[in-house]
């Protein structure tokens, strides 16, 4: 907490021994320990009271609501999320490391091709128009 090293503690102990004296030094350290323990207990009690007050006032639920609102704002802006992902990928990219070519290969399946051709032919209209033939009895 105070970043006091062993050499500083030794110096403080020697000064306390000279100033207070060897007779009253244990009593002083015991009193100092009790005061430190009381200060820590008061700090814990204060923290606990503040947490309880925040919980009672609904402040923690408001904080959760704010976090939910941040999540919604992120989901409403998917373009920025995609841009951030692309930026991360670009930052990880090393031009010295070769990447495998990702060429699209087209594998032709004869059964699939025949089925697609048959479906196209079935959907196409008949190229020869059917003309209405006049009825023979009315002419």
In total, the chain counts a number of residues equal to 139
Phi, psi for residue 88 in degrees, rounded to 5 = -60, -40
* 54 and 60 Cβ atoms separated by less than 8 Å: yes
The SS3 call for residue 114 is helix
> Between 17 and 45, whose confidence is greater?
45
pTM listed for this prediction: 0.36
Which pLDDT tens digit goes with each residue over 77-121? 667 777 777 788 777 777 777 665 544 455 566 676 776 676 666
3-class SS shares of the chain: helix, strand, coil, % to 5: 70, 0, 30
Q: Quote the tokens at residue 108.
A: 């032709």
Instruction: Evaluate if residue 44 carries a pLDDT over 90.
Output: yes
């Amino acid at each position: 907490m105070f970043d006091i090293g062993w050499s500083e503690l030794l110096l403080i102990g020697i000064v306390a021994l000279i100033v207070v004296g060897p007779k009253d030094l244990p009593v002083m350290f015991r009193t100092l320990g009790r005061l430190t323990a009381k200060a820590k207990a008061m700090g814990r009690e204060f923290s606990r009271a503040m947490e309880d007050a925040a919980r009672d006032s609904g402040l923690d639920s408001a904080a959760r609501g704010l976090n939910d609102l941040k999540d919604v704002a992120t989901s409403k802006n998917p373009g920025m999320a995609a841009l951030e992902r692309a930026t991360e990928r670009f930052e990880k990219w090393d031009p010295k490391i070769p990447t495998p070519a990702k060429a699209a290969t087209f594998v032709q399946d004869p059964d699939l091709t025949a089925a697609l051709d048959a479906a196209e032919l079935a959907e196409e209209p008949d190229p020869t128009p059917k003309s209405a033939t006049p009825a023979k009895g009315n002419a």
